[in-house]
């Protein structure tokens, strides 16, 4: 299944709806189908205008955008076959128990753990996107423009009919590309907001693949764009007041990202699927569960004092191998706004509740029962 340049240059909102709007057409991002504007399309005795018909096309030809995306090659999605199958069932609204029964793995708590892992993947993707945006900004700062004479030669070569004419080619080196894009950006007026349709109208006479030019103008920071692609504007030096206003939404976005990336405390179990024995533990940061798996694989899960995990668990991990064990989140600690709330004490009580419930001692587990005082 091919993924086009138009797909990669689309905004997140455009990808979610499955199509982009261009000057005279709506174009399906999933198959490239073009629906011309200004035409009424008959379908099963009903007449649809172009905007409604492209949505009908996505629904009938691809079932849904989700169904199309999840069938993409793993090199595009980054999902394993196992994660892909889970997401498909989650999208269908299956409960944890139904998913467990259909996939035949672990238990309902195993599925909860998988949901948690996928949520972690989403958070990691958000952080990665933020880092890439920051990296892009650094790259823009580091791009040094060539001299005036060099720029003039580049423009003469690649705009043979003059800078108001079409671009000869966009197969350019970095320095040449920057000069060309800066020249194209002059076709936009400062202090003016453009719709995507208006941007396309300006860029279409410049180069056949005007969508690619639009994407590079945004990538190089010469054009700014709202996250949903609804407005574009020429980058300029803002006043302090303007800068404060434009950065406000970004600050709110970063605050939300911080909230979503905060750590969660909770109780987990490491279950041996061969003999059903479990080790039950708790942590103030559930994101460290992968670290526990790593420690077991490295044989370092037991400290010099034997207080990290169980020596018996380590021995059986070595004997049966990683594939015989499942690490599951049993319960996430509910945080309270009360300033006197003691998270550590609450976590200890939550862990004790699960210890009392599962009794993971002796033949049932790897925990060692504490002597009552």
Provide the residue ranges of all domains of the chain, joining segments of one domain with +.
Answer: 5-78, 143-257, 264-364
**What's the distance, CA 247 to chain centroid?**
22
pLDDT of residue 342: 86
Q: Parallel, antiparallel, or unpaired: how do β-strands 266-272 and 232-234 relate?
A: unpaired
- Residue 48 reports pLDDT greater than 80: yes
Q: Parallel, antiparallel, or unpaired: how do β-strands 232-234 and 193-194 relate?
A: antiparallel
- Grade residue 239 by pLDDT with cuts at 50, 70 and 90: very low
pLDDT of residue 229: 74
pLDDT of residue 110: 86
From 105-119, 212-226, 250-264, the region with the lowest mean pLDDT: 250-264
Q: How far apart are CA 239 and CA 226, in angstroms?
A: 19
**What's the distance, CA 15 to chain centroid?**
13
Q: How far apart are CA 204 and CA 209, in angstroms?
A: 8
pLDDT of residue 214: 92
- Grade residue 221 by pLDDT with cuts at 50, 70 and 90: confident
Structural tokens at position 131: 């880092």
pLDDT (average), residues 243-260: 50
Query: Could you tell me if 53 and 39 are in contact, meaning their C-beta atoms sit under 8 angstroms apart?
Result: no
Q: How far apart are CA 196 and CA 223, in angstroms?
A: 12
pLDDT (average), residues 21-30: 87
- Grade residue 254 by pLDDT with cuts at 50, 70 and 90: very low
Q: How far apart are CA 56 and CA 18, in angstroms?
A: 11
- Grade residue 246 by pLDDT with cuts at 50, 70 and 90: very low
pLDDT (average), residues 191-199: 88
pLDDT (average), residues 171-182: 86
Give the pLDDT confidence of 101-128 residue by residue, as tens digits: 888 887 888 888 888 888 888 888 888 8
pLDDT (average), residues 36-61: 89
Strand stretches in the chain, DSSP E: 19-21, 25-28, 34-36, 41-43, 46-48, 193-194, 223-225, 232-234, 266-272, 278-283, 325-332
pLDDT of residue 243: 44
- Grade residue 361 by pLDDT with cuts at 50, 70 and 90: very high
β-sheet bridge partners, residue 327:
270
Query: Distances in Å between the alpha carbon of 72 and those of 28, 87, 89, 128?
Result: 16, 13, 16, 21
- Grade residue 206 by pLDDT with cuts at 50, 70 and 90: very high
pLDDT of residue 240: 45
Please give the mean pLDDT across all residues of the chain.
Answer: 83
- Residue 241 reports pLDDT greater than 60: no
pLDDT (average), residues 261-273: 84
Give residue for tokens 């969660």. 264
Q: Which CATH superfamily is domain 264-364 in?
A: GIY-YIG endonuclease (3.40.1440.10)
- Grade residue 213 by pLDDT with cuts at 50, 70 and 90: very high
pLDDT of residue 323: 87
User: What is the value of pTM for the model shown?
Assistant: 0.43
Give the pLDDT confidence of 271-280 residue by residue, as tens digits: 999 999 999 9
Q: Is the dihedral of CA 168, 173, 177, 180 positive or negative?
A: negative
pLDDT of residue 304: 39
Give the pLDDT confidence of 144-158 residue by residue, as tens digits: 567 888 889 999 999
Q: How far apart are CA 267 and CA 286, in angstroms?
A: 8
From 17-26, 83-92, 140-149, the region with the lowest mean pLDDT: 140-149
- Residue 139 reports pLDDT greater than 80: no
């Amino acid at each position: 299944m091919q993924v086009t340049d138009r797909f990669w240059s689309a905004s997140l909102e455009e990808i979610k709806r499955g199509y982009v709007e261009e000057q005279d057409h709506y174009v399906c991002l999933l198959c490239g189908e073009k629906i011309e504007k200004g035409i009424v399309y008959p379908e099963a005795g009903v007449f649809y205008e172009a905007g409604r018909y492209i949505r009908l096309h996505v629904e009938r030809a691809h079932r849904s955008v989700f169904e199309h995306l999840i069938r993409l090659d793993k090199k595009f999605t980054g999902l394993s076959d196992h994660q892909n199958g889970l997401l498909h069932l989650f999208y269908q609204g299956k409960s944890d128990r139904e998913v467990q029964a259909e996939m035949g793995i672990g238990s309902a708590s195993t599925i909860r753990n998988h949901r948690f892992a996928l949520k972690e993947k989403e958070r990691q993707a958000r952080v990665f996107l933020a880092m890439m945006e920051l990296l892009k900004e650094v790259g823009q700062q580091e791009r040094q423009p060539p001299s005036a004479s060099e720029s003039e030669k580049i423009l003469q070569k690649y705009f043979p009919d003059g800078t108001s004419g079409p671009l000869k080619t966009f197969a350019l080196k970095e320095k040449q590309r920057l000069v060309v894009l800066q020249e194209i950006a002059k076709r936009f007026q400062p202090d003016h907001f453009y719709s995507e349709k208006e941007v396309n109208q300006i860029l279409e006479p410049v180069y056949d693949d005007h969508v690619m030019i639009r994407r590079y103008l945004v990538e190089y920071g010469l054009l700014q764009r709202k996250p949903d692609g609804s407005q574009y504007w020429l980058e300029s030096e803002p006043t302090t007041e303007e800068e404060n206003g434009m950065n406000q939404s970004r600050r709110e976005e970063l605050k939300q990202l911080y909230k979503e990336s905060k750590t969660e405390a909770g109780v987990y179990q490491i279950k041996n699927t061969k003999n059903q024995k479990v080790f039950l533990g708790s942590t103030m940061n559930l994101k460290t569960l992968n670290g526990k798996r790593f420690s077991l694989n490295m044989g370092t899960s037991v400290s010099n004092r034997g207080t990290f995990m169980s020596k018996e668990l380590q021995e059986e991990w070595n004997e049966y191998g990683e594939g015989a064990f499942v690490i599951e989140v049993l319960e996430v600690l509910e945080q309270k706004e009360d300033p006197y709330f003691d998270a550590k004490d609450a976590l200890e009580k939550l862990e004790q509740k699960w210890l009392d419930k599962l009794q993971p001692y002796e033949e049932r587990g790897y925990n060692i029962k504490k002597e009552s005082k």
